[in-house]
Structure 1
Amino acid sequence: MKRYDVYGIGNAIVDIITEVDHDFFENNNVEKGVMTLVDEKRQLELMKAIDMQKSKMTGGGSAANTVVAVNQFGGKSFYSLLVAQDDLGKFFLDDLKYNGVDTNLTFEQCPPGHTGRCLVMTSPDANRTLNTFLGVSSFLSKNHLDEESIKNSSIVYLEGYLVASPKGLDALKEAKRMAEQSKVDVALTFSDPSMVKYFSKQMEEIVGASVDLLFCNDEEALIFTGTSTINEARQKLQQVAKKFVVTLGANGALIFDGDTFINIEPYKVEAIDTNGAGDMFSGAFLYGITHQHSFAEAGKLASLAASKVVTQFGPRLETSRIKKLLVDLSKH
């Protein structure tokens, strides 16, 4: 039996979550609805333009949110990361420890510098726009991988955001190589439409001949495959992924389990913040398939969990809400 259900690697980012109005984006020259990498000066400029008193700080990072969710559901995860030896770095590591996620470094081993942070701007239409300053996370490399933990995992989960960094890209390639050598399944999330749009070549390098499991949303699927409909996209995705999940927002999700296409019905809710919905979907789904659930069952659990996330601000649920979610689902 493997020690870990999921081994994740990604940018370790502290989220600063805030609300903005529709005019904010045009007034401050911000591309709405995507993740944009910025330097520290630019991020500080934007932080001056918002009401920081009404903002909330939380642990973030796409793959980090996913492995935390796996643990909250009752699984066990490992996470490769890089934070600085500063207050935000300690905050991030303490948060992972609280959630039972094992990591590759202690606070004493962290380098000097600034921990990555992400300004999460939520607009009245529940859309989320990210401006990310990576800090020391931009130096995350293959040296931060733990090969023994990869060997002792059921699935290695790769965060697509890392393709934007040469060192991060090398780390993803090496993690995939280690996993394949040890016959460990490899899952990849595209992470954001901007990663597929602006780093398509790098993303294709990671996909390579194939990945065992791909996570993406409908926009990412269309961009990556160069198609105009989901039906066309799903046919092309079969050429690069043995199995895949395409989330469709308020319309649920489409899953391919290697043999059959499965439509996952949505749970109707009033969304106020979509930040982290995809991360939660991945976490719940990965928990499901590593705990004897079928793809259809895991998809139903993931859809329900993601529907709960979008009704609040922030990318994670309290563990108590997840436990109640599992109880409610078992009754039905």
Structure 2
Amino acid sequence: MSKKYDVYGIGNALVDIVTEVDDKFLEDYKVEKGLMTLVDADRQFELSEGIDISKSSKACGGSAANSIIAASQFGGNCYYSCKVANDAMGKFYLKDLGDNGVDTNLTDDTAPEGITGKCLVMTTPDANRTMNTFLGITATYSTKEINEQALRDSTYIYIEGYLVTSENGLEAMKTAKKMAEDAGVKVALTFSDPSMVKYFKSQMEEVVGSSVDLLFCNEEEAMLFTDKPTIAEAREELKKAAKKFVITQGANGAMIYDGDTFIDIEPYAVKAVDTNGAGDMFAGAFLYGITHGHSYAEAGKIASLASSKVVAKFGPRLQWHEAKEVLNHLFDNN
């Protein structure tokens, strides 16, 4: 029996404000380059004041949301459980999700009072991205945001690692994972960011539990989680945490473990202008691939090509026609 949704995602709902800055700006404002840093509303306002916001692009985001939208654009049926407020940014967020074909748990009428979270994505000329995030109302994301019926009617659940930073978020991750396992829904998890593994390792281990079906991480996260000094050792150790996994390697492509063998995914050479969303795109495109009859190797190719296209432009997502072009290029779909 086919499921209604290919992927059901949970994660922080943030309006991404993507802007260009130089290294001097980061130095002047004492921003740690290349990392995601949680900030309060005052700090985010201070940074926003120093940036030309009018030249910035705006999109509904958060790591898992970017992946879910990617899967939807490729042709997947997707659902995203999130928490936004009934303010202007929240209304923008819900409309953007809908415009991208993603079902969700909230409407303008049911969104609670509060402030919608925002992520200031600062891109430097070397294509590095630095994020300062004010979580707003998504800091209170909890099990109440989970739609069990939609989850049970999905092939995969995709859990965002960033939720691990709060007790209520951690509880939502563990509850959603158990619901999925009880319903025979496959569990995919992304570590999201090296800082999530570095500072919340024990909590992340709680979420992983005995194992997950599919894990997404980069090389640094893999080595931090397994406590191994080389990626060769880390990938062997990861077999204990995940039945299958993807380790993204930036400009070097990715390696995939399909439960049996390792598959090297070649990168597509491009001039990177903005690495924001590359990992999210890889995960979303990969999830689309494996839920639409593609092998792990084929899904890896889709994800690699899609990621190369997203780093060659500003912002974390492709246009609909660009997603279709990726599939046409690889499989000559007519």
TM-score range, shorter chain: over 0.9
Q: Residue 144 of structure 2 aligns with which residue?
A: 143
Give per-residue Cα distances to partners, 1:211-270, cap 9 Å, x unaligned.
110000111111111122110110110111100000000000000000000000000000
Q: Residue 29 of structure 2 aligns with which residue?
A: 28
CA drift of 1:149 comes to 1.0
Query: What percentage of aligned pairs have identical amino acids?
Result: 63
Q: Residue 185 of structure 1 aligns with which residue?
A: 186
Q: Residue 92 of structure 2 aligns with which residue?
A: 91
1:152 is the counterpart of 2:153: yes
Aligned pairs for 1:43-192 within 5 A: 43-192=44-193
Give per-residue Cα distances to partners, 1:29-80, cap 9 Å, x unaligned.
1111111111100111111122223211111111101111111111101110
Given residue 25 of structure 1, which amino acid in structure 2 is its aligned partner? L
CA drift of 1:27 comes to 1.6
- If the length of structure 1 is used for normalisation, what is the TM-score? 0.98
Q: Residue 290 of structure 1 aligns with which residue?
A: 291
Aligned pairs for 1:269-280 within 5 A: 269-280=270-281
Q: Residue 321 of structure 1 aligns with which residue?
A: 322
CA drift of 1:201 comes to 1.3
SS in structure 2 of the partner of residue 107 of structure 1: coil
Distance 2:198 2:124 in 1: 23
Distance 1:218 1:178 in 2: 29
Distance 1:263 1:281 in 2: 14
Shifted more, 305-314 versus 321-330: the winner is 321-330
Distance 1:56 1:293 in 2: 33
Q: Residue 213 of structure 1 aligns with which residue?
A: 214
Aligned pairs for 1:183-262 within 5 A: 183-262=184-263
Distance 2:72 2:120 in 1: 25
Distance 2:69 2:40 in 1: 27
SS in structure 2 of the partner of residue 250 of structure 1: helix
1:40 is the counterpart of 2:41: yes
Given residue 226 of structure 1, which amino acid in structure 2 is its aligned partner? D
Give per-residue Cα distances to partners, 1:177-213, cap 9 Å, x unaligned.
1001111110000001111111111111111111110
- If the length of structure 2 is used for normalisation, what is the TM-score? 0.98
Given residue 71 of structure 1, which amino acid in structure 2 is its aligned partner? S
CA drift of 1:297 comes to 0.4
CA drift of 1:329 comes to 1.4
CA drift of 1:26 comes to 2.0
Q: CA RMSD in A?
A: 1.0
Distance 1:81 1:171 in 2: 11
Q: Unaligned 5+ residue runs, structure 1?
A: none
Distance 1:77 1:307 in 2: 23
Shifted more, 249-258 versus 214-223: the winner is 214-223
CA drift of 1:326 comes to 1.3
Give per-residue Cα distances to partners, 1:267-297, cap 9 Å, x unaligned.
0000000000001000110000001100000
Distance 2:83 2:123 in 1: 26
**After TM superposition, which residue ranges in structure 1, 4 or more long, deviate above 6 angstroms?**
none
Distance 1:231 1:23 in 2: 37
